[in-house]
């Protein structure tokens, strides 16, 4: 691990880099820089040229519920879901957003009622995505309010449950847990892609959210999409985005269309499949991580069950975008413990969970990942 490591044919000899041992390894955010190498290799396949006269109008297609949705992008969304088999797109409205973050807010707006006597409760099962509580409450809306862990939610009446599957931070598959008739569900499926989890069946929910940030790694493009069954909900989500940003960058949608097209083409042609490549990369990382942690006894990792993946046509194991690391023994603050060793992670408390756990991104560059593995290995030797 220390001298030179081979992962999926990528040689990284990091031993001689100056300052390597002292550097701060920041794996707090899920920044998907891991994918840069693949897209560099793809070269011109995803390059687009946008002439100056293009994208002048706010409008894309007035006949569509989501009037700012660029048709080429919508087509590629439908095609990609068909190729991957991870979502039903028939009888769904597509609403595009500036990342799925904007769509979470649009969905909260669309599912709440301005005439309700009190704000509708928004819950999610802990450990939940750390941004949910602040996203829900930062504007102190009178429409909705954060009500915490879905597992302990017992208030009568309507509520909104955010269901994240696979879950951020722990990578587990999720279903709604409140399970009452007046629940409105938002399925956040940012990680329901074959490099992270076996695709077992096409998701078929009332409202699902996806994003290029985690599927192809283009977080900076700021494009997400919602698949919405109910026309009224899609209209209200569109209205929210109209009030918020009068639509979504057409340039970004065109670029996203080109990237999604390259992914679908690659899958259908076989050899250079993006998902095959990224699955191998993630598999290599998880294998190295398990080998590093398992002999030490200081930390423990979650265990996952393999399932048949309809996309790869074989059994695959979950290999989440985040490591949900547990400190064993007397260490109560896993984030703080790692920080002393100059590893920045996000502690369990941010996710409504225990401080004995901390979240670490698995999507950073190869160099940072290998430095992290080496640091982890050294910590265990010191102990």
Interface residue list for ligand PMP (CB under 6 A): 30, 99-101, 129, 164, 168, 188, 190, 211, 213, 219, 224
State which residue, 31 or 72, has the beta carbon closest to ligand PMP: 31
Half-sphere exposure of 368 (CA within 13 A, CB side): 20
Q: Tokens representing 320?
A: 């989440």
The residue sitting closest to ligand PMP, measured at its beta carbon, is 99
Q: How far apart are CA 220 and CA 204, in angstroms?
A: 28
For the bound state, the minimum distance from the C-beta of residue 99 to ligand PMP, rounded and expressed in Å, comes to 3
For the bound state, the minimum distance from the C-beta of residue 211 to ligand PMP, rounded and expressed in Å, comes to 3
Which residue stretches of the chain are H helix? Answer: 36-41, 71-84, 99-111, 131-137, 212-215, 231-245, 250-269, 274-294, 334-340, 366-382
For the bound state, the minimum distance from the C-beta of residue 195 to ligand PMP, rounded and expressed in Å, comes to 15
State which residue, 208 or 213, has the beta carbon closest to ligand PMP: 213
State which residue, 30 or 347, has the beta carbon closest to ligand PMP: 30
Q: How far apart are CA 358 and CA 380, in angstroms?
A: 17
For the bound state, the minimum distance from the C-beta of residue 269 to ligand PMP, rounded and expressed in Å, comes to 27
Q: How far apart are CA 270 and CA 40, in angstroms?
A: 19
Q: How far apart are CA 27 and CA 376, in angstroms?
A: 13
State which residue, 127 or 198, has the beta carbon closest to ligand PMP: 127
For the bound state, the minimum distance from the C-beta of residue 117 to ligand PMP, rounded and expressed in Å, comes to 30
CA distances from 112 to 13, 17, 103, 233, 236 (A): 53, 53, 14, 10, 10
For the bound state, the minimum distance from the C-beta of residue 219 to ligand PMP, rounded and expressed in Å, comes to 5
Q: Tokens representing 276?
A: 């095959």
Nearest to 157, CA basis, from 165, 147, 166? 147
For the bound state, the minimum distance from the C-beta of residue 235 to ligand PMP, rounded and expressed in Å, comes to 22
DSSP string of 166-220, one letter each residue:
S-TTT------SS--TTEEEEEE-TT-STTTS---S-B--SEEEEEHHHHTS-GG
For the bound state, the minimum distance from the C-beta of residue 130 to ligand PMP, rounded and expressed in Å, comes to 9
Half-sphere exposure of 358 (CA within 13 A, CB side): 22
State which residue, 5 or 168, has the beta carbon closest to ligand PMP: 168
Phi, psi dihedrals of residue 357, rounded to the nearest 5°? -115, 155
β-bridge pairing 159-164 and 183-188: parallel
State which residue, 298 or 357, has the beta carbon closest to ligand PMP: 357
State which residue, 7 or 186, has the beta carbon closest to ligand PMP: 186
State which residue, 168 or 319, has the beta carbon closest to ligand PMP: 168
């Amino acid at each position: 691990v220390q001298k030179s490591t081979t992962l999926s044919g990528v040689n990284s000899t990091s031993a001689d880099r100056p300052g390597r041992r002292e550097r701060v390894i920041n794996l707090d955010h899920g920044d998907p820089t891991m994918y840069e190498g693949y897209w560099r290799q793809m070269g011109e396949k995803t390059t687009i040229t946008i002439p100056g006269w293009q994208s002048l109008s706010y409008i894309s297609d007035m006949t569509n519920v989501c009037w700012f949705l660029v048709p080429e992008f919508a087509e590629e969304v439908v095609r990609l879901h068909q190729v991957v088999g991870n979502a039903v797109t028939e009888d769904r409205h597509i609403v595009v957003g500036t990342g799925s973050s904007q769509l979470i807010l649009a969905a909260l707006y669309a599912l709440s009622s301005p005439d309700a006597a009190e704000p509708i409760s928004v819950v999610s099962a802990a450990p939940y995505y750390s941004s949910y509580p602040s996203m829900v409450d930062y504007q102190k809306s009178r429409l909705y309010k954060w009500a915490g862990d879905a597992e302990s939610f017992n208030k009568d009446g309507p509520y909104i449950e955010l269901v994240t599957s696979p879950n951020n931070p722990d990578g587990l598959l999720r279903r709604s847990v409140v399970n009452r008739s007046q629940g409105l569900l938002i399925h956040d499926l940012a990680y329901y892609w074959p490099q992270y989890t076996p695709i077992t069946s096409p998701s078929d929910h009332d409202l699902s959210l996806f994003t290029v940030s985690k599927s192809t790694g283009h977080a900076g493009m700021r494009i997400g999409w919602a698949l919405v069954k109910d026309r009224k909900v899609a209209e209200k989500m569109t209205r929210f985005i109209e009030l918020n940003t009068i639509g979504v960058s057409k340039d970004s949608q065109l670029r996203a269309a080109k990237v999604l097209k390259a992914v679908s083409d690659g899958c259908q042609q076989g050899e250079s499949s993006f998902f095959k490549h990224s699955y191998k990369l993630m598999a290599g990382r998880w294998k190295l991580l398990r080998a590093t942690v398992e002999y030490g006894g200081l930390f423990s990792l979650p265990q996952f069950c393999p399932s048949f993946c309809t996309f790869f046509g074989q059994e695959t194991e979950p290999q989440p975008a985040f490591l949900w690391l547990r400190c064993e023994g007397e260490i109560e603050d896993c984030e703080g413990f790692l920080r002393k060793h100059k590893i920045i992670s996000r502690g369990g408390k941010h996710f409504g969970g225990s401080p004995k756990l901390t979240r670490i991104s698995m999507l950073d560059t190869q160099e940072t990942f290998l430095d992290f593995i080496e640091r982890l290995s050294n910590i265990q030797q010191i102990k």
